[in-house]
Amino acid sequence: MIRLVSIGSLAALFFSSTFILNRTMSLQGGHWVWTASLRFGFMLIMLVVLLLITQGKKAIKDVKDIFLQHWIFWIIAGSVGFGVFYALITFSSQYAAGWVIATTWQITILATPLVLMFFGRTVPAKGLLFTGIIFIGIVLVNVEYAVLTSLREVLLGALPVLVAAFAYPVGNQLVWEARLGHSQKIPKIDHPIVENAFARVLLLTIGSLPFWALLIIFTTPPAPTSAQFFNTALVALLSGVIATTLFLYARHLCRESFEIAAVDATQSMEVIFSLLGEIIFLGGAVPSLLGMAGVALTIIGLIAYMRSQTS
């Protein structure tokens, strides 16, 4: 369990770059659709190169074959787990500070048990009390933000994140279920390449491409800036490739539902990393006592939750 939590926490460090860089791009006037879609374009290139270097041409062929055999599944999983999730996260960055979004994002810790139960998995009830503490912390952070801005800004910043918090574990769980092959409604994907973390992320990335194409067509955003190209490439590397691969690697090491819940819970560390990053790199203000209390409750809830799952 210590190994799983350590890998998940390292993933959270790299994931936090998303909130900081997305906020940077929004302040620079970059359109959120390009902030979201360009990331996955860069991820596609990076992951193909990484697989070629580490596994050779056969791995690329295996990914192509697995995708074509189950293309409907990968498009659904990729569109939900990567498309809906990240489009809503980047949309929120137009209205709220990175650390506020990172804190609100921790609602995924509440979403994960619900998603697991939806897929018929048993979830230990003893940790649910502590997820309530995390939820209270999230509420306090958004109350502070409402005082500083307006209710409209909070709703546009928080509600999309709440939906994204469910979309991400749904997409990941679809892949987990397909790998185990226990569900009659989800195809069993039994191939060695699916055990490779880079390959799994690449398959989900390819599956999300139709979503991004449709989003660009329907929103017709203005052309991206050169700074947006650079920043989205950086997000793609730090968060899309490194963090996502680490996170999915930890998740796929899990054999029990409580292990999955514990790995997902480590993402609360994004709050601290994002807050420190925004203060250091963007000159963000230190939260008031109310905001700090919200952050503290979120972290305390995380620690208590993890202890309850491992006791």
pLDDT tens track for 162-175? 999 999 999 989 99
Range of the domain at 138: 2-310
So what's the pLDDT on residue 4? 85
Query: Number of folded domains in the chain?
Result: 1
Model pLDDT, residue 273: 86
Find the largest Cα–Cα distance for the chain: 56
- What is the structure's pLDDT at 8? 87
Nearest Cα to 264, choosing from 111, 138, 133? 111
* Long-range contacts formed by 224-230: CB under 8 A, 24+ apart: 224/30, 224/31, 224/34, 224/38, 225/28, 225/29, 225/30, 227/25, 227/28, 227/30, 228/25, 228/28, 228/30, 228/31, 228/34, 228/35, 228/38, 229/38
> What is the C-alpha to C-alpha distance for residues 4 and 134, in angstroms, rounded to an integer?
21
Which stretches of the chain score pLDDT less than 50?
A: none
Quick one: pLDDT at residue 307? Answer: 67
